[in-house]
């Protein structure tokens, strides 16, 4: 799947959980840059992304998700 397509789908997940779209999708985007993306919502976002792409992250994958770019490449490696 193309990175752009993946990003759009992640963006939809973020909007549905955080209930706002005050962020711009780019590779360097981190949780810190996005309002409401804290440790509590992180868990929900991860679960929703797993459902969206029918994948399952390993615990070790979670620490690799430093920014949007790395999230996209971990997803790509699983689908």
In the complex, minimum distance from the CB of residue 16 to another protein, in angstroms, rounded to a whole number: 15
**Token pair belonging to 6:** 């993946």
Closer to another protein by Cβ: residue 5 or 44? 44
- Burial label for 56, CB within 10 Å (0-12, 13-18, 19+), is exposed
Binding window for another protein (CB under 8 A); candidates: 7-15, 36-44, 68-76: 36-44
Binding window for another protein (CB under 8 A); candidates: 2-10, 57-65, 68-76: 57-65
Whether the CA torsion 34, 40, 75, 2 is positive or negative: it is negative
In the list 28, 32, 54, 79, the residue contacting another protein (rule: CB under 8 A) is: 32
Nearest to 14 by CA among 30, 3, 63, 62: 30
DSSP, res 31: G
In the complex, minimum distance from the CB of residue 76 to another protein, in angstroms, rounded to a whole number: 20
Judged by the rule CB under 8 A, the positions of this chain that interact with another protein are: 32, 38-43, 58-60, 62-63
């Amino acid at each position: 799947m193309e990175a752009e397509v993946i990003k759009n789908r992640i963006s939809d997940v973020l909007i549905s959980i955080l209930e706002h779209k005050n962020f711009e999708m780019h590779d360097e985007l981190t949780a810190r840059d996005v309002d409401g993306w804290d440790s509590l919502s992180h868990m929900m976002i991860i679960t929703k992304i797993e459902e969206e792409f029918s994948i399952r992250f390993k615990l070790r994958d979670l620490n690799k998700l430093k920014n949007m770019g790395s999230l996209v490449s971990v997803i790509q490696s699983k689908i």
